[in-house]
Amino acid sequence: MSKQDMSQQSSSDNSAEKKAKPSWFKRLLKLMAIGALLGVVLLVAGGLGFKHWLTNWSNTPNEQRQLTQFVVNRGDSASKVLRNLQNSQIIEEQWRYKALFVFEPQLTRLKAGHYEIPSQASPRELLTVLASGVEKQFAITFIEGTTFKEWLGVLQKHPQVDYSQVRMNDYIASFPASSVDEDKYRFARVEGMFYPDTYHFTANTKAIDLLKRAHSVLNSTLDELWKTRVKDLPLDSKEEALVLASIIEKESGFSAERRDVASVFINRLNKKMRLQTDPTVIYGMADVYDGDIKYSHLRDKNVYNTYVIKRLPPTPIAMVSRQAIAATLNPTSTPYLYFVASGKGDHVFSTNLKDHNRALKRYLATLKQQ
């Protein structure tokens, strides 16, 4: 056998030995591969287990949580919101929420606003509320028969209304000027121009935005009811109807008799009689009124005093309800020219002064007995 043949034989034997018997290095690689695969399996299983736990936690109601208000400020990141929630003691730990953000990044899209978190809300419900953009609604109520000055007081006192005197002055000035002395009657141009009701709004709504809503409702209500008015009313415009409705609003809080009260004033207007109604005397006194009407007040010559003037006042004297406007435009057909309180919440109506004076004496006697 030649040396070349012997060399080839030796190489063949070495190759065969290598194929037949793995080296320690290959065994190590195999063990490492198995270990890595096992690690991945354990990691995946652990991740799935953690996610399952996190999902259960996020959907579990918090029995300790009470109905809570919370503000997300404009520009706040999700992390800052979590810090604020923890500082407000609404949540205890942030890390669970941050972990939830990793699995569900859409929950980080929190929106600025003033929110109400339901009692016992789960973590997911809490975040869903803050991401909804559906803010807590506040309410403000304006009562019929009250004046614009009183409305300003209600607006100024509400903690969630953004009240600016400068903006309010500008808004008032945007209305057409009235014919009266506005140094004495400061709000004459806006008196009666707003619809009394309960209005809902979100935090920090501007006061003038609420008034704009009330003004729009008043205009639409007046337009609607004006179309249903009876014929031959001694009222030349919607504005005059509003003035008379404000008087009726102040004279009677008893809705069942408002149309009868309206009939008295309509009858007196048709006969060119003075309306002689105390609420106009009070409004005409402006800030001087102290709760008591004296005989001298009835004789005071001002543009609102219907014991002196032979017409409607120049502007409304209060805010007016739908019922008062409807009564003004659809009064009952009666011969009444007078009415006086009965002492029982309603009024006694009369067709002549003699009967009216008798009813007045009975009312005064009732007052003395109380």
| 298-326 residue pLDDT tens | 888 999 999 999 999 999 999 999 999 99
Which one, of 346, 368, 344, 347, lies nearest residue 359 by Cα? 347
**Same domain as 169, residue 318:** yes
**Same domain as 81, residue 210:** no
pLDDT (tens digit, 9 = 90+) per residue, 141-186? Answer: 999 999 999 999 999 999 999 999 999 999 999 999 999 999 999 9
Residue 230's contacts (CB-CB under 8 Å, 6 or more residues apart) are 329, 330, 331
**Same domain as 262, residue 122:** no
Q: Cα separation of 154 and 140, whole Å?
A: 8
Contact 218, 195 (CB under 8 A): yes
**Range 341-369 average pLDDT:** 86
Out of 132, 162, 179, a domain closes at 132
Q: Is residue 123 part of a domain?
A: yes
Which one, of 118, 161, 171, 121, lies nearest residue 138 by Cα? 161
Q: Please report which helix (H) or strand (E) contains residue 255, including its range.
A: none
With a pLDDT cut of 90, the percent of the chain lying above it is 69
Q: How many CB atoms lie within 10 A of CB 137?
A: 12
- Name the residue with higher pLDDT: 65 or 60: 60
Q: What's the confidence (pLDDT) of residue 20? A: 47
Q: Is residue 190 part of a domain?
A: yes
**Same domain as 203, residue 83:** no
364 pLDDT tier (thresholds 50, 70, 90): confident
Number of domains the chain contains: 2
**Same domain as 119, residue 158:** no
In the predicted structure, residue 37 carries a pLDDT above the cut 70: no
In the predicted structure, residue 363 carries a pLDDT above the cut 90: no
Measured distance between the N- and C-terminal CA atoms of the chain, rounded to whole angstroms: 147
**Same domain as 218, residue 118:** no
Q: How many CB atoms lie within 10 A of CB 152?
A: 17
Cα maximum dimension of the chain: 159
Q: What's the confidence (pLDDT) of residue 28? A: 64
Q: Cα separation of 203 and 71, whole Å?
A: 10
**Same domain as 233, residue 119:** no
**Range 225-253 average pLDDT:** 95
Q: Is residue 171 part of a domain?
A: yes
**Same domain as 157, residue 117:** no
**Same domain as 233, residue 88:** no
**Same domain as 290, residue 264:** yes
Q: Cα separation of 227 and 241, whole Å?
A: 12
Q: Cα separation of 161 and 169, whole Å?
A: 16
Q: Is residue 357 part of a domain?
A: no
42 pLDDT tier (thresholds 50, 70, 90): low
Q: Is residue 30 part of a domain?
A: no
Q: What are the Cα distances from residue 289, in Å, to 144, 195, 281, 283, 298?
A: 20, 25, 9, 8, 12
**Category of 204 on φ-ψ map: left (φ > 0), alpha (ψ -120 to 50) or beta:** left
Answer yes or no: pTM beyond 0.85: no
In the predicted structure, residue 251 carries a pLDDT above the cut 70: yes
Which one, of 133, 135, 131, 126, lies nearest residue 59 by Cα? 126
With a pLDDT cut of 70, the percent of the chain lying above it is 87
Q: Cα separation of 10 and 1, whole Å?
A: 13
For strand 198-201 and strand 161-162, is the pairing parallel, antiparallel, or unpaired? Answer: unpaired
Which one, of 199, 211, 113, lies nearest residue 167 by Cα? 211
Q: Is residue 219 part of a domain?
A: yes
> What's CA 292's distance to the chain center, in Å?
36
Out of 99, 132, 165, a domain closes at 132
**Range 336-352 average pLDDT:** 89
Q: What is the DSSP string of 37-106?
A: HHHHHHHHHHHHHHHHHHHHHHTS--TTPPPEEEEE-TT--HHHHHHHHHHTTS-S-SHHHHHHHHH-GG
Q: What's the confidence (pLDDT) of residue 9? A: 52
Q: Is residue 9 part of a domain?
A: no
Q: Cα separation of 143 and 190, whole Å?
A: 16
- Name the residue with higher pLDDT: 253 or 268: 268
**Range 320-349 average pLDDT:** 92
CATH code of residue 122: 3.30.1490
**Same domain as 316, residue 290:** yes
The domain containing residue 90 runs over which residues? Answer: 68-132
Mean pLDDT taken over the chain: 88
**Same domain as 187, residue 106:** no
- Name the residue with higher pLDDT: 8 or 23: 23
Out of 112, 132, 152, a domain closes at 132
Q: Is residue 265 part of a domain?
A: yes
